[in-house]
Amino acid sequence: MTVLAVADLLARYAPAYHGSWDNAVRQMLAEPADAEIITQLRAERAAAGRFRRPVVVDDERQVIGDGMHRVVAAITGRYPRLEVADGYPDGDGDELEVTFTLDSPDDDDGAFEQAVDWLRSFPLAGTWVTCDTFSHISGRYHAVYYCPASLADALRSAVAARAEAHGLRVQVLNVQPPEPYDEGPCLRCGQ
C-alpha cells in the first residue's frame, strides 16, 4: 500500500466509469445513493483521519478498481492524499451471499436498479461492506458481499433496513457463504 497525492492519482488513473473525473464527480454527486455514500465516507474520514480501506487501482489498465466513492469524497473534501493499493489487500473480508426477494409489481419498474444503488456499499458494525456481484435468478436476488462471517446476522438486518429506508420492500431469505463457482470444463481442452 502506498500514499498518493489526490492530484497525482487523478492524473495517473482513469475513473472506473463516467469517462472523466469531472464527469464522475458531477454524476456521482447528482445520484442520491452515491451522494449518501460520499457523505458517509467524508464523515468517516473526518472522524478517523483516513478511510477504512485504500483505493484499489489497476496499474496495468491505469484505472480505479474499487474506491470511486472514496476518490470523490477526497476531491470534494479537499483531502490532499489517499492510501492506494494495487490489488485487493489480504483479509478483505469473507464473502457472504444474501438471497432476497424484492416486492415489486413489475420487473421493469427499476426496483432492481434501485436495490443495486442502495445496497451495494455501506458501513456496518465498524467496517464497510461492499457488494461484489448482484444477480437476479428465477425471482430471487443474490448479492455477494465482502463482509466478515461474524456479521452475517447484522448484514441480514442491514440489507432489510437499508432497503426499507429507501422505499424498497425486501424479504431476506438467507445469508451464507456463496456456493463455490464451478466454471465447468474448458471448452477448448476439456479439462
Separation of CA 127 from chain center: 13
99 with 172, same domain?
yes
Please check whether residue 131 lies inside any domain of the structure: yes
135 with 78, same domain?
no
Q: What is the CATH number of the domain that holds 128?
A: 3.30.70.100
112 with 52, same domain?
no
Alpha-carbon gap, residue 170 to 143, rounded angstroms? 13
Intervals of the chain under pLDDT 50: 186-189
- Residue positions counted in the chain: 191
122 with 70, same domain?
no
Contacts of 95 (CB under 8 A, 6+ apart): 132, 144, 145, 146, 147, 177, 178
106 with 73, same domain?
no
The confidence score (pLDDT) of residue 107 equals 54
The closest of 115, 180, 107 to 138, measured between CA atoms, is 107
3-state SS, residue 136 = strand
Contacts of 165 (CB under 8 A, 6+ apart): none
The closest of 137, 90, 96 to 119, measured between CA atoms, is 96
Please check whether residue 183 lies inside any domain of the structure: no
Alpha-carbon gap, residue 112 to 8, rounded angstroms? 36
24 with 49, same domain?
yes
The confidence score (pLDDT) of residue 169 equals 85
Q: Are 162 and 92 in contact (CB under 8 A)?
A: no
Mark which of 56, 86, 116 sits at the end of a domain: 86
Task: Convert the pLDDT of each residue in 137-184 to its tens digit.
Answer: 888 889 999 888 999 999 999 999 989 888 888 899 999 988 876 555
16 with 68, same domain?
yes
Contacts of 106 (CB under 8 A, 6+ apart): none
Please check whether residue 191 lies inside any domain of the structure: no
Residue for grid cell 428465477: 138
The confidence score (pLDDT) of residue 6 equals 96
Q: Which amino acid is at 46?
A: A
Give the number of domains in the chain. Answer: 2
Contacts of 77 (CB under 8 A, 6+ apart): 42, 45, 46
Mark which of 86, 119, 135 sits at the end of a domain: 86
What is the span of the domain harbouring residue 126? 95-176
| Residue 14, phi then psi, degrees to nearest 5 | -85, 155
Alpha-carbon gap, residue 130 to 132, rounded angstroms? 6
Separation of CA 82 from chain center: 18
Q: Would the pTM of this model clear 0.85, i.e. be above it?
A: no
